[in-house]
Structure 1
């Protein structure tokens, strides 16, 4: 398209003035004409003048560049105008204005005319305007006061709930520390703690957000020592059936028909030989069997504000049973003591949850491992941990 043809097209378009159209159509037509004039001003001769080396070398390339630029410019301007119309609700405003004007066509009331006294005219006009503004402001003020009252009540309720949650969390941490102190009376080399078989500590430093129980694994030879330590806590009850895992829970929780109440801690016991340990519960023996070299010596890792003993070769222990890159919801609800609907179980890549939940990221350094707990790019805290047993210096 030549500059002359562009100019002729613009002139022809300008001659086609919209008649008997609404203001929105008039505005749209005017902006369309303005856009075409802007595009037509980007003449090919200007490109040829300022980009002379390219024009001499390959005039067709320059011409295609010019055409592409003008098309993109036209597209961007159109998009910006449409966005402006949408944000400012121009079509509704102008349609309302058309309606107001149309409704006044048959109005026989005489329009206001100045009296000749500027002060009097100004006073009469301003009084009516100010009265309307006052009424509007009073209405806005009333609405704001109502909103402030609702907001104040909502904030007070939220503060009350947060205080209650804080007390619950503080109480839980305090009770967990009591349990931890009681459990430390058992020899450290005989006690191994797993939270969902160690996943909570390794992956989150806290409860897995989509889980609802805690598992502890204790040497079977320490059953009586564990029983004495836990039964010495007056606010808790230990349920110890002979063939399955024990359950440890608060006395303040109302029980249903079962001899225990959720939330509780499941206490499993392991057997051992010279090379391995395993879960003594028959249904878990093959699933939870680990090399002693991967478990001992135990390392202390952060969990819920305290340090808990965990295996020294955690990746191998975890990969024995789980895929550490996958996050999976539980197949069992401990609160209701029943299996979940198989269709409700979800498995996703853990990395897809990094921006929603706290995860632990590790960086091995010369003499320690830096563990960083983050939600997305937000660092919650960092802590130093011992080197895993498989990388310790000799």
Structure 2
């Protein structure tokens, strides 16, 4: 009797969850505008995949729930509270039924909350996108080799190689800037050297003119001076 009731409750819960999942998917389809309310269309492959995944997840959860509840059988329950069972077996059986119902309801509520808070529908949709991207990618996906050192190196080496290429590029830029600055400094030094040469030449010419003037002045005698 107890097993038949449990099976009936399980079937009703499964039907309810499947209906809720189907209703939510229909609502999401209407909000997205992908279906016409006036026409009847078959669900797309993506919707079927998500529905199948939800159905599979619900099946796994229900199976795990049943296994967990089976561990709390009436025999174990009665053996734990044997003195009370001996006094009133019928009362103990009613208590066990209430305990199983509350336990099942609490676990089912936790599963529903996990699906809602974890946004399982959205995650399954992302899984579909990853699968489609993997099918379109001809390259093989990365798989661990089983050696942590190699896996770690295979993950870090591309990063360090990109950093090395970036540093080499920056080094070439700095070297080009330094070469341009060196040319400017050399041109400045040559300009200064030419200016110094011109200045020294002008000074020598000035000295020569002063010397010539002094020589001419000293060559004049007093008799050559004309009185005014």
TM-score range normalised by the length of the shorter chain: 0.3 to 0.5
Structure with the bigger percentage of strand: 1
TM-score normalized by the length of structure 1: 0.25
Structure with the bigger percentage of helix:
2
Higher-Rg structure is 2
TM-score (norm 2): 0.41
